Structures are given as structure tokens and as C-alpha cells.
């Protein structure tokens, strides 16, 4: 490696079926008194919020509950959560749910100690003070938010999904218990699993690649290729679910340190303007992105093909790299990732939004990490191709 690199992850990472049972022990080590449990209504319905309440109670830790996160996080949810945190006089956060409650909890922590509005913190390292400890408990095998320095919050005034990047917001404790994903429906399983795949493949080919994250990213790609179809077909397959959860966490650690690239840069504007779920907006761009990008790092794409189980023996590097593009397309098709058109978004509305979306994509900084650079015009063309 010819440049210096930084590698960060949570202080404690618990993994494997049943590891949520150790929540009380870990909370005890934080030395905090009262938690704000940040979650959503679905998590209450499936009983996960109550499970966390019981574990905290048994550990002698007080808590209040905030479940007003009805979708992907907006600035308004963060403000409501901050009010709950302060009114209830909490001193740490426990987030249980998909990326939405976890990202909301991170942003509540930012505002509590740093003040101002969440829009003040868009971009890298704008957060100046440490945030309260956060215990992150994912229930989707997807975002990896439990191990990352990112939170993504929609600025409702400007319809922008803001990327906030701060090493202060990496959770203190991540508890990745795959049994919590058993209840995820197939559509969520597919979307979140493909989100994790994008994290892994983007981190692997990113301009900010590192040898350490390469190992994690490749293992995540291998695990997802072997297990996503299984978890999608049969949600109760604990082995597939465990492998998917492990993959999502590994991919999260990988992109936490090597960054995502053009897919995520282009995906956030689709989510902000057309309210498409994060995993879906990534997955529907993935094949187009792979076709555009594979020639920039053919050796790495050839390796992706190999770990995805493709036979690349005897092929030239470029042909082997193309096998990855084909394998990626097949994976998306198999788990029924829809196109923009399939989701009923009208062509005219989409066309009208493209210039703003391309500008917002570039402004987020993620496309700058893509191994093949893309101009605003090329990004617009890629959006068109993905329609
Ligand atoms: N911070 C990061 O590093 C990072 C990375 C990627 C994505 N994100 C963000 O994460 C958000 C998306 O998170 P997500 O994809 O996990 O989805 P989500 O949290 O929005 O959840 C999607 C839906 O699935 C439900 N759900 C979640 N787990 C379930 C379970 N086990 N059983 C039944 N239903 C369940 C939720 O209640 C919700 O209705 C987006 O806002 C995205 O921008 C953050
Ligand atoms: Fe993502």
C-alpha cells in the first residue's frame, strides 16, 4: 500500500445467534443511567422493543422509548427524538431496528452534544464534540450502520439525503444478532441484502481501498452470493440469515474505512426525490454501475466474479471481470429487484429530476471515490440507463 490509511470500528462488536442476551452486561460497562430506546412501530409489533426493555430492566438500567421513526430518517424525526432524549433526561442511546432507527439515534446524539440543526453537520467531520454512547442493534442484514461513522438524514426543506460523516458517531457497542432478522419479509431481505452487497463491492473497488478492508469486502461478497437467495426464499433459514448478518457487518466495516462510490452517490438522490427504499435504489443502479466501472479495475472485478462462484479459468482478465457484471445482474434478477419504471415512476418526472439528482450525487462526495470517474452528463446517462 502506497499511502497511509485509517481503520475504525466500534469498541465492542457482538455477533451470532442469541448475542442480544448480552445487552445488559455491555450496558453495565458503559456506566450510564438512562437509555433512550430509538426504534419504530414495526419493531414494537414484532416484540423487539419489549425484549430490549426487559433486558435493560434486568440489568437495573432505566429507559424511555421513542418509536416515532415511520420511515427513512428525516430532520423532523431527529428533532422529535432529541426532545424525548432531553425531556426524559437520558444519558445514552439504544437503537434497535433497520438503518432508519440506528441513523436517527446517531443524529439525536449529534444534536444533543453539539447543538444547532442537523443540516449544520452535512459533510465530513463537522461534528466537533463526542456524542453520547450508542448501542446499535440491527434487525436488517443490510446497512451496517451498527459499525459505521455515517448517518443519512433527509433535509426536508431541500429534498436532500444528507450524508453526515463523523468518527464520533461510530456506535460504542454493536450487537448483530441474526435471529432478529428472521422476521424480515422477502422484499426487505432482498433490498437490505443488496445494500450490503453494494457496500462490499464499492468498498472493494473504491479509490480509497485498503488491504484490510479488501479482505472483509471479499468475504462479504462471497457470503451474500451464497446466502441472499436462500434467505430471500426461506426467511427462517437461520444459517443463511446468520451468514447475511455477518456479511452486512463486514461490508459495513469495509465501507466505513474505504468508502462507498458512485452507486451510493447516485442512489441517495433517487431516495430523496422519489422516496424509494435505500436498498432498492442502490440495487437498481448496481448492474448499470458495474457495466460502467468494471474496465477501470478489471483485476478486482475478476476477483469478484471468482468469489461469486463464477468459473473464470482460462479467461482473460477483462473477460473474467465481465463475468462479475453478469453474476451481479443475475443476483438482482433472482431476488426480484425492480427497476425505476417497475416502481411506477413516470419517465417525464424522472427526466425532470435528473439534473438536480446528478448535481446532488456529485455534491455528496461519494462519486469521487469511484475508480472510473463520471461527469455530470455521464451520471445523467447512467440514470437514464437504469430506468
Ligand atoms: N449509516 C450508514 O452507514 C447507512 C448505510 C446504509 C444505509 N443507511 C440508511 O439506512 C436506512 C435504511 O435502513 P434499512 O434498509 O435497514 O431499512 P429500514 O430501517 O428503513 O427498515 C425498512 C422496513 O423494514 C422493517 N423491518 C426492519 N427490520 C425488520 C425485521 N427484522 N422484521 C420485520 N420488519 C423489519 C422496518 O420496520 C421498516 O418498515 C436508510 O435511511 C439509509 O440511508 C445508513
Ligand atoms: Fe447503503
DSSP letters, 307-329, are: HTT---TT--HHHHHHHHHHHHH
User: Which phi and psi angles does 37 have, rounded to 5°?
Assistant: -85, 120
Ligand 1 mean position to 291 CA, how many Å?
A: 27
Residues 306 and 248 in one domain: yes
- DSSP annotation of 136: E
Task: Give which of 99, 326, 274 is closest to 192, Cα–Cα.
Answer: 99
Say if 259 falls within a structural domain: yes
Can you list the positions of beta strands (E) in the chain? 12-15, 34-38, 62-66, 92-97, 123-124, 134-138, 150-155, 160-165, 173-176
CA distances from 346 to 145, 186, 191, 342 (A): 32, 26, 22, 10
Ligand 1 mean position to 191 CA, how many Å?
A: 9
Please state the rounded mean pLDDT for residues 149-156: 96
Residues 332 and 291 in one domain: yes
Q: Counting atoms of ligand 1 from 1, which one is nearest the CA of 41? A: 37
Question: Which of the listed residues 97, 156, 179 should we mutate to test ligand 1's pocket, taking the one with most ligand atoms within 8 A of CB?
Answer: 97
> What string of H, E and C letters represents the secondary structure of 160-222?
EEEEEECHHHCCCEEEECHHHHCCCCHHHHHHHHHHHHHHHHHHHHCCCCCHHHHHHHHHHHH
Ligand at shortest distance from the CA of 145: 1
User: pLDDT digits over 234-272, tens only?
Assistant: 999 999 999 999 999 999 999 999 999 999 999 999 999
Whose C-alpha lies nearest to ligand 1, atom 3? 145
| Domain-ending residue, one of 131, 164, 180 | 180
Ligand 1 mean position to 323 CA, how many Å?
A: 30
| Domain-ending residue, one of 150, 180, 210 | 180
Residues 193 and 321 in one domain: yes
Please state the rounded mean pLDDT for residues 335-361: 97
Cα-Cα-Cα-Cα dihedral of 19, 22, 24, 28, to 10°? Answer: -120
Ligand at shortest distance from the CA of 178: 1
Residues 276 and 369 in one domain: yes
Ligand 1 mean position to 201 CA, how many Å?
A: 20
* 4 Cβ neighbours under 8 A, 6+ residues apart: none
Task: Give which of 184, 295, 181, 185 is closest to 239, Cα–Cα.
Answer: 181
CA distances from 26 to 8, 11, 17, 135, 188 (A): 20, 11, 16, 9, 29
User: pLDDT digits over 297-345, tens only?
Assistant: 999 999 999 999 999 999 999 999 999 999 999 999 999 999 999 999 9
Residues 73 and 171 in one domain: yes
* Spacing of C-alpha 174 from chain mean position: 14
Res. 198: pLDDT tops 90? yes
Residues 231 and 293 in one domain: yes
- pTM for this predicted structure: 0.98
d(CA 54, CA 29): 18
Q: Counting atoms of ligand 1 from 1, which one is nearest the CA of 182? A: 31
Say if 22 falls within a structural domain: yes
Q: Counting atoms of ligand 1 from 1, which one is nearest the CA of 183? A: 32
Say if 3 falls within a structural domain: no
* 83 Cβ neighbours under 8 A, 6+ residues apart: none
For the chain, the first-to-last Cα distance in angstroms comes to 38
Q: What's the structural domain count of the chain?
A: 2
Res. 2: pLDDT tops 80? no
Residues 120 and 199 in one domain: no
Q: Counting atoms of ligand 1 from 1, which one is nearest the CA of 42? A: 37
Packed helices 376-386 and 286-293: angle between N→C axes, nearest 10 degrees: 130
Ligand at shortest distance from the CA of 149: 1
The pLDDT value given to residue 159: 87
The pLDDT value given to residue 354: 98
Helical (H) or strand (E) element with 25: helix 23-30
User: pLDDT digits over 123-140, tens only?
Assistant: 999 999 999 999 999 999
Q: Contact 114/73 with Cβ under 8 angstroms?
A: no
What's the CATH code of the domain at 225?
Answer: 1.20.1090.10
Res. 28: pLDDT tops 80? yes
Question: How many Cα atoms occupy the beta-carbon half-sphere of 21 within 13 Å?
Answer: 5
User: 191 — alpha (psi -120 to 50), left (phi > 0) or beta?
Assistant: alpha
User: 8 — alpha (psi -120 to 50), left (phi > 0) or beta?
Assistant: beta
The pLDDT value given to residue 3: 85
Residues 155 and 201 in one domain: no
Say if 76 falls within a structural domain: yes
Res. 1: pLDDT tops 80? no
Residues 241 and 340 in one domain: yes
The pLDDT value given to residue 63: 98
The pLDDT value given to residue 154: 95
Ligand 2 mean position to 365 CA, how many Å?
A: 15
Ligand 2 mean position to 121 CA, how many Å?
A: 19
User: pLDDT digits over 278-293, tens only?
Assistant: 999 999 999 999 999 9
Q: Cβ < 6 Å from ligand 1: which residues?
A: 40, 42, 46, 72-73, 97-100, 103, 139-140, 142-145, 148, 150-152, 180-181, 183-184, 188, 192, 195, 278-279
Say if 369 falls within a structural domain: yes
Say if 7 falls within a structural domain: no
Whose C-alpha lies nearest to ligand 1, atom 39? 42
Residues 208 and 287 in one domain: yes
d(CA 108, CA 318): 47
Say if 1 falls within a structural domain: no
Residues 191 and 140 in one domain: no
- DSSP annotation of 74: B
Q: Which residues sit opposite 152 in a β-bridge?
A: 163
Ligand 1 mean position to 314 CA, how many Å?
A: 41
Residue range of the domain that includes 153: 12-180
What's the CATH code of the domain at 78?
Answer: 3.40.50.1970
| Domain-ending residue, one of 180, 200, 233 | 180
Say if 2 falls within a structural domain: no
Residues 195 and 328 in one domain: yes
Neighbours of 275 (CB within 10 A): 14
> What string of H, E and C letters represents the secondary structure of 234-246?
CCCCHHHHHHHHH
Amino acid at each position: 500500500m502506497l499511502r497511509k490509511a485509517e481503520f475504525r470500528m466500534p469498541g465492542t462488536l457482538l455477533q451470532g445467534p442469541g448475542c442480544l442476551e448480552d445487552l445488559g452486561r455491555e450496558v453495565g460497562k458503559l456506566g450510564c443511567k438512562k437509555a433512550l430506546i430509538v426504534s419504530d412501530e414495526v419493531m414494537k409489533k414484532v416484540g423487539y422493543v419489549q425484549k430490549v426493555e426487559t433486558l435493560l430492566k434486568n440489568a437495573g438500567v432505566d429507559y424511555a422509548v421513542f418509536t416515532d421513526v415511520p420511515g427513512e430518517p428525516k430532520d423532523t424525526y431527529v428533532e422529535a427524538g432529541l426532545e424525548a432524549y432531553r425531556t426524559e433526561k437520558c444519558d445514552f442511546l439504544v437503537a434497535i431496528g433497520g438503518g432508519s432507527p440506528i441513523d436517527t439515534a446517531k443524529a439525536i446524539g449529534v444534536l444533543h452534544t453539539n447543538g444547532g440543526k442537523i443540516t449544520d453537520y452535512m459533510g465530513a467531520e463537522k461534528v466537533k464534540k463526542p456524542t453520547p454512547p450508542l448501542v446499535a442493534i440491527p434487525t436488517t442484514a443490510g446497512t451496517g450502520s451498527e459499525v459505521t461513522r455515517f448517518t443519512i438524514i433527509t433535509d426536508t426543506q431541500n429534498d436532500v439525503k444528507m450524508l453526515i460523516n463523523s468518527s464520533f458517531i461510530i456506535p460504542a457497542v454493536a450487537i448483530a444478532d441474526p435471529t432478529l432478522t428472521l422476521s424480515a419479509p422477502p422484499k426487505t431481505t432482498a433490498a437490505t441484502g443488496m445494500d450490503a452487497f453494494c457496500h462490499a463491492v464499492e468498498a472493494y473497488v473504491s479509490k480509497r481501498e485498503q488491504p484490510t478492508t479488501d479482505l472483509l469486502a471479499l468475504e462479504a461478497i462471497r457470503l451474500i452470493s451464497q446466502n441472499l437467495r436462500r434467505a430471500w426464499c426461506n426467511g427462517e433459514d437461520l444459517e443463511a440469515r446468520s451468514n447475511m448478518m455477518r456479511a452486512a457487518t463486514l461490508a459495513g466495516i469495509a465501507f466505513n474505512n474505504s468508502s462507498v462510490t458512485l452507486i451510493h452517490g447516485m442512489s441517495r438522490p433517487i431516495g430523496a426525490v422519489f422516496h424509494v427504499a435505500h436498498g432498492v435504489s442502490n440495487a437498481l443502479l448496481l448492474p448499470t454501475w458495474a457495466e460502467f466501472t468494471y474496465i477501470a479495475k478489471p483485476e478486482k472485478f475478476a476477483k469478484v466474479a471468482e468469489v461469486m462462484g463464477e468459473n473464470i479459468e482460462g479467461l482473460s482478465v477483462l473477460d473474467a471481470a465481465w463475468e462479475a457484471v453478469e453474476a451481479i445482474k443475475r443476483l438482482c434478477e433472482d431476488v426480484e429487484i425492480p427497476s425505476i419504471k417497475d416502481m411506477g415512476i413516470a419517465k417525464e418526472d424522472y427526466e425532470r429530476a435528473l439534473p438536480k439528482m446528478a448535481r446532488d450525487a456529485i455534491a455528496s462526495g461519494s462519486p469521487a471515490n469511484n475508480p472510473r470517474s463520471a461527469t455530470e452528463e455521464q451520471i445523467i446517462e447512467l440514470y437514464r440507463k437504469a430506468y
